Amino acid sequence: MSKPPLRTVSKVDLPRFMGDWRVIANIPYFAERDAYDSVESYALRPDGKIANWFVFRRGSWEAPVKRFDFSAEVVNKHTNAEWRVRFLPLVKVAYLIIDLDPDYQWTVIGHPSRRYGWIMARERTLPDDVYAGILSRLADQGYDPSKFVKVPQVPPGGASTAGPVRTEGPQD
């Protein structure tokens, strides 16, 4: 039996959504396995599209920072909650904002297949009750919450010897 489509949030204020989001948990896929200190960032471009970049460390807190640059476009202009992210010249992926804190302190991104998902926050951690509530709402949307894996965001001792990930701006 197929699951109903994911429900997006009713409205996203794009300028408010822009900026850095720490990946608190995700359903890992090949590019994000063994990632530490992951940050997903967005900036509105003059052409109306969204610059999107992802920075992280692979395998440890001391690993060098890696960065991938993408672009996104909003496909549902009424809600601004449905995007397509371009990873490669010919690959666009659905990106659905399915949960969002009213104060824009955390968000949840889903994919129609439910094989991918991201829980992100402006800070390095989420309170346990907030995280549990997000997982419960993900289950209500047909996700298996046990597939979400927390991404290390707080190094032992509180600081990375390599320094914080710097997201800086979009690159041309």
Residue of 165 and 52 predicted with greater confidence: 52
> What is the pLDDT, as a whole number, of residue 112?
96
Please answer whether residues 52 and 70 qualify as being in contact, where contact means their C-beta atoms are separated by less than 8 angstroms: yes
Question: Which pLDDT belongs to residue 168?
Answer: 60
Burial code (b: 16+ CB inside 10 Å, e: under 16) for 1-16 equals eeeeebebeeebebee
User: Domains, the chain, ranges and CATH?
Assistant: 14-156 (2.40.128.20)
β-pairing verdict for 50-58 and 117-121:
unpaired
pLDDT at 23: 97
Report whether 115 contacts 99 (CB < 8 A): no
Report the distance separating Cα 35 and Cα 146, nearest Å.
18
Of the candidates 17, 22, 42, which has an alpha carbon nearest to the alpha carbon of residue 124?
Answer: 22
How many other C-beta atoms can be found within 10 angstroms of the C-beta atom of residue 138? 24
Does residue 163 contact residue 61 with C-beta atoms inside 8 Å? Answer: no
CA dist., res. 136 & res. 7, Å (int): 14
Question: Residue 71 burial by CB count (10 A; 0-12/13-18/19+): exposed, middle or buried?
Answer: middle
pLDDT tens-place string over residues 69-110: 999 999 999 999 999 999 877 788 999 999 999 999 999 999
Per-residue pLDDT of 16-28, as tens digits, reads: 999 999 999 999 9
CA nearest to 120, candidates 136, 132, 135, 109: 109
Structure tokens at 15: 């300028």
